[in-house]
Structure 1
Amino acid sequence: MKKFWQLAASATLALSMLVACGTEKETETQQKEGAVVVEENNETAFPVTAVDALGNEITLEEAPDRIVSLTPSNTEILFGLGLDEEIVGVNDNDNYPEQVADKTRVGGIEYNVETIVSLQPDIVFAHESSMFSLESAIAQLEASGVTVFVVNNAENFEETYDTIEVVGTLTGKEDEAEEVISSIQAKLADIEAKLEGVEPKTAFMVVGGAPNIYVVGQNTFMNEMLKFIHVENAVKEDGWPMYSPEQFLAANPDSIIFTYEGDDETIKNNPAFANMTAVQNNALTVVDANTTSRQGPRIADGVESIAKAIYPEVFND
């Protein structure tokens, strides 16, 4: 499936966070995944300890000066927190913000361990969705003394906020993390207000259209975006199932959203789909694959792009 692996690679880790505050030193151990334990002195929030997606406790004695990101969504969060100078290595597929062009590329699905080690990072932000190709790399990095924090896949907005918070805590950017979250929430609230009273519609989100049709299913982050804008997903299966032409035709949603240019033409030009409601009404729209799949600072942009595609009458500029 065309570029389908990027959906997994773009997913970021969602973690729950707990910060222990006060002038007296207090420590409360949280063993569940995603918990953050902060041992605070009178001047700084460090050292901090966070439990990653693998259940490993990762402790940083001070804010990291050198950071490597193995995931585009993580990279966007780190830049969103103002860590431009600290980021020294990024994923081969990173394309936002434009400053990534000046960073060392360390791999896409497979990672160049030697390059990562040579960058002397204080922490490497990895992600659970790449564990199928990351286990060996993590073992080598840890054997070289490199600290790796594996983030989990966020399945909804709240878990994305948790991710931003924990990355902010680990990098000494708590206030900036709250600002990023507030900005996302404000834009989502504006979108929600515009959609008040709207008549719900049904839709497909196609993430691969040639030669096989792969679609967004239930219990995915993209499905959460659809639910937020009062759209019923025509796909009832979980994950990203492959649909046969017969299944695709039978579902017959009001709108079809595509995340890659050209997939819309594949459907539009196929005579088998000529009688579908979305095809007849020309309700086929391509949206940006990055903002709709990366759980980071631009999720509200992704939601808005889908909302504009499905409800053009509401978002008529």
Structure 2
Amino acid sequence: MNGKWKLASIRKVGFILITAAIVLATAACGTKETNDSGAANNAPSSNTANKPEDAAANGGNQAAANAGDAGTAAQATVYPLTVKDVTNTELTFSAAPQRIITLVPSETEIVYALGAGDKIAGVDNYSNYPKEAADKPKIGDMNADIEKIVSLKPDLVLASYTMSQAVVDKLRSLKLPVYATDPKTYDAVIEKVKQIGAILDKPKEAAAVANHMEQVRTQVTDAVKDAPKPNVYLEFAPGWTVGKGEFLDEIITLAGGTNIATEPNWYEIDPEVVVKANPDAIIYASMTVKEGEKNPILTAIETRPGWNVINAIKDKKVFEVDQDPLTRVGPRLADGLLEVAKKLHPDLFK
């Protein structure tokens, strides 16, 4: 999930996430590709990076600005560079990409956090952070404008395969270099940042972002390690939650809670299941609404029959969290983790 989308869009996302997960489980390996910056087909690589095994608001920008302090291990990228993405598609780059298109906000935020925002040639409609992203040419939403993308002549397209599978496949059929990801864990997000940093010849900046994300995680886990773990229900769209095998499930665990959603992936939950689980806290995602209107997720939570007996509602432990940092698998996921931890354990984060 990326961005503060309208309710209908969020429901659509839920279905896409579920069906895409099924498709991914049986997806065939991708084909070898090269970018448009000068690498020949099947060119030998002097530097090969494996696919990822599967940084916060100010922190990401600060990390990029102070990348020189991010340790000496991060070396400049050696080109040609060959990488594999989550679909096992191999791409070879002869130089750092100069015209990048991002199909989801998380990838936009990563590129900016790495200090390469000036290389972005186009972004999706929902990329709203940092504010400079709003000035970039728009290529559409989940149903991206293929002709627009082609006209921008990208030498790298960054995509979420779960969110943009059909678009990814179409762009690849047009011989455009698409690097697709689908991180399922906090560590996988960190590895994604590092991999994109290598592609863009920004390894030091990527190391700084990764270090920040790791430091925030350590701060949170150290603080909550001895605290009681409340049972938590997370609702990111009316009636929709997330269970095992997804990064948001891990976020709840890292933040010192226990997710009551036991089924895998993203799914529409039976309200009675939540009543029986009787969570100690309920977390829901913020949404953009008209002035004077209430978040429809909160309205749904407050008006469901029988939910008035749930401990979280009786004890007024129903918390709104900023949707973007919580659901975008980029540098600001550290912000989302910290915010959830503060909601669940306010006494530990004063």
Q: Find the residue that maps to 1:313 and give its secondary structure.
A: helix
Structure 1 pair 6–312 and aligned structure 2 pair: CA distance change class (3 A): farther
Distance in 2 of aligned mates of 1:230 and 1:127: 28
Decide whether the 8 Å contact of 2:97 with 2:155 is kept in 1.
Answer: yes
Distance in 2 of aligned mates of 1:26 and 1:148: 18
The aligned counterpart of 1:128 is 161
Structure 1 pair 114–255 and aligned structure 2 pair: CA distance change class (3 A): same
The aligned counterpart of 1:54 is 87
Decide whether the 8 Å contact of 2:231 with 2:280 is kept in 1.
Answer: yes
Deviation at 1:241, TM superposition (A): 2.2
Deviation at 1:141, TM superposition (A): 3.4
Between stretches 69-78 and 192-201, larger displacement belongs to 192-201
Distance in 1 of aligned mates of 2:116 and 2:341: 31
Decide whether the 8 Å contact of 1:219 with 1:239 is kept in 2.
Answer: yes
The aligned counterpart of 1:234 is 260
Deviation at 1:75, TM superposition (A): 0.9
The aligned counterpart of 2:345 is 311
Deviation at 1:50, TM superposition (A): 0.5
Distance in 1 of aligned mates of 2:135 and 2:274: 43
The aligned counterpart of 2:302 is 268
Structure 1 pair 164–248 and aligned structure 2 pair: CA distance change class (3 A): same
Distance in 1 of aligned mates of 2:346 and 2:334: 17
Name the aligned partner's letter for residue 230 of structure 2: K
Decide whether the 8 Å contact of 1:202 with 1:232 is kept in 2.
Answer: yes
Kindly indicate whether residue 121 of structure 2 is the aligned counterpart of residue 91 of structure 1: no
Decide whether the 8 Å contact of 1:292 with 1:302 is kept in 2.
Answer: yes
The aligned counterpart of 1:148 is 178
TM-score, normalising length: structure 2? 0.76
Moved over 6 A (4+): none
Decide whether the 8 Å contact of 1:34 with 1:50 is kept in 2.
Answer: no
Deviation at 1:44, TM superposition (A): 6.0
Name the aligned partner's letter for residue 157 of structure 1: Y
- Specify every segment of 5 or more residues in structure 1 that has no aligned partner in the other structure, as ranges: 12-24, 36-42
Of the candidates 214, 224, 237, which is equivalent to residue 250 of structure 2?
Answer: 224
Higher RCO structure, 1 or 2 (CA under 8 Å, sep 6+): 2
* Paired residues for 1:1-317 under 5 Å: 2=8, 3-6=10-13, 27=46, 33-34=51-52, 45-142=78-175, 146-151=176-181, 153-209=182-238, 213-260=239-286, 261-315=295-349, 317=350
Deviation at 1:53, TM superposition (A): 2.1
Deviation at 1:133, TM superposition (A): 2.7
The aligned counterpart of 2:29 is none
Structure 1 pair 100–26 and aligned structure 2 pair: CA distance change class (3 A): closer
User: What do the CA deviations read for 1:238-276 (whole angstroms, capped 9, x no partner)?
Assistant: 112212222221111100100133312321234521111
Structure 1 pair 28–167 and aligned structure 2 pair: CA distance change class (3 A): closer
Structure 1 pair 272–34 and aligned structure 2 pair: CA distance change class (3 A): closer
Q: Find the residue that maps to 1:179 and give its secondary structure.
A: helix
Distance in 2 of aligned mates of 1:263 and 1:237: 21
Decide whether the 8 Å contact of 1:141 with 1:148 is kept in 2.
Answer: no
Q: Find the residue that maps to 1:199 and give its secondary structure.
A: coil
- Specify every segment of 5 or more residues in structure 2 that has no aligned partner in the other structure, as ranges: 1-6, 21-43, 54-75, 287-294
Q: Number of paired residues?
A: 288
Tell me the percent identity: 27
Distance in 2 of aligned mates of 1:34 and 1:313: 36
Distance in 1 of aligned mates of 2:166 and 2:177: 18
Distance in 1 of aligned mates of 2:77 and 2:328: 31
Distance in 1 of aligned mates of 2:278 and 2:77: 57
Distance in 2 of aligned mates of 1:141 and 1:107: 18
Decide whether the 8 Å contact of 1:113 with 1:140 is kept in 2.
Answer: no
Distance in 2 of aligned mates of 1:135 and 1:164: 19
Decide whether the 8 Å contact of 1:113 with 1:141 is kept in 2.
Answer: no
Decide whether the 8 Å contact of 2:83 with 2:90 is kept in 1.
Answer: yes
User: What do the CA deviations read for 1:256-305 (whole angstroms, capped 9, x no partner)?
Assistant: 10013331232123452111101100110111111111111111100111
Between stretches 169-178 and 133-142, larger displacement belongs to 133-142
Name the aligned partner's letter for residue 72 of structure 1: P
Q: Find the residue that maps to 1:291 and give its secondary structure.
A: helix
Distance in 1 of aligned mates of 2:114 and 2:48: 27
Distance in 1 of aligned mates of 2:149 and 2:180: 15
